[in-house]
Amino acid sequence: METVHPDLKRIELGYANAFLWTGAGGPTLIDTGSPWTFSKLLDELNAVGVQPADLQRIIITHADLDHIGGLKGLTELSDAPIACHTVEADYVTGRRSKALPGVRGKAMHAAIRVAEKVYKPHVDAVQELLLEKETTPEGFTVWHTPGHAPGHISLHHKEASLFIAGDAIINTDNKLSLPPSAFTPNEQQVIESLAKLKKLKFDTACFGHGPCIAGGADKKIRAFIDTLL
């Protein structure tokens, strides 16, 4: 676990990240990793003295398996409400599944459905439905950033000068990039979502995949967005 801000820890769960907010309104978990990293998630929380029962809220950026994989297990250990964008709730509960375009997308979609049958990551209900510009009790402002998922959200914490992108942007291989096209139904919409974020100010940025950027992260992200527009 890496402290990226006095109130935010990055929990590396294989190739995906979850985040633990320990500031006001917390402890709150943002995303939950993959099903196969669930025991690591519990170990990492335990290492900083947080038990699932202590969690005040679980915020989900989007319903992909590598972000909701630990959710079902957590609900068996915790009464924390689950929060996600109102559009994403049907995907978190498995009532809908994300469509992927093209022949390759269809094949990918079939493979994801098989994985979901094996791991059964979906929960029965989402307790808190978030909307754009809403501020959570932790102080995160919700930005609806669809494209990679219909109800994908990114989170901005003004006071803490933090931005959590989810998979709207990823930071793997030492560079910022769009989420993988094979898992992204609408790349153009991702770019439009990113354009909305250009005015945000933050020192530290965190991503669903790859390391966080500390110091002047808003300028680096703005420069990346400008290459897309």
Assess 208 for contact with Zn ion (CB under 5 A): yes
Here's the x/- map for Zn ion, 157-176, by CB under 5 A: it reads as ----------x---------
* Choice between 7 and 64, CB closer to Zn ion: 64
Does position 66 bind Zn ion by CB under 5 A? yes
DSSP assignment, residue 21? E
Helix (H) or strand (E) holding 117: helix 102-119
Span near Zn ion by CB under 5 A; candidates 17-25, 26-34, 65-73, 185-193: 65-73
DSSP string of 48-110, one letter each residue: TT--GGG-SEEE-S---HHHHTTHHHHHTT--PPEEEETTTHHHHTTSS-----HHHHHHHHH
In the complex, minimum distance from the CB of residue 18 to Zn ion, in angstroms, rounded to a whole number: 11
Residue 4 C-beta: closest distance to Zn ion, Å: 18
Q: CB of residue 37 vs Zn ion: minimum separation in angstroms? A: 12
CA dihedral defined by 211, 133, 193, 148, rounded to 10 degrees?
A: 60
Give the whole-angstrom CA distance, residue 68 versus residue 82: 11
Closest to Zn ion by CB, 70 vs 139, is 70
Of 83 and 168, nearer to Zn ion (C-beta) is 168
Location of structure tokens 């022949």: 103
Q: Is the CB of 113 or the CB of 201 nearer to Zn ion?
A: 113
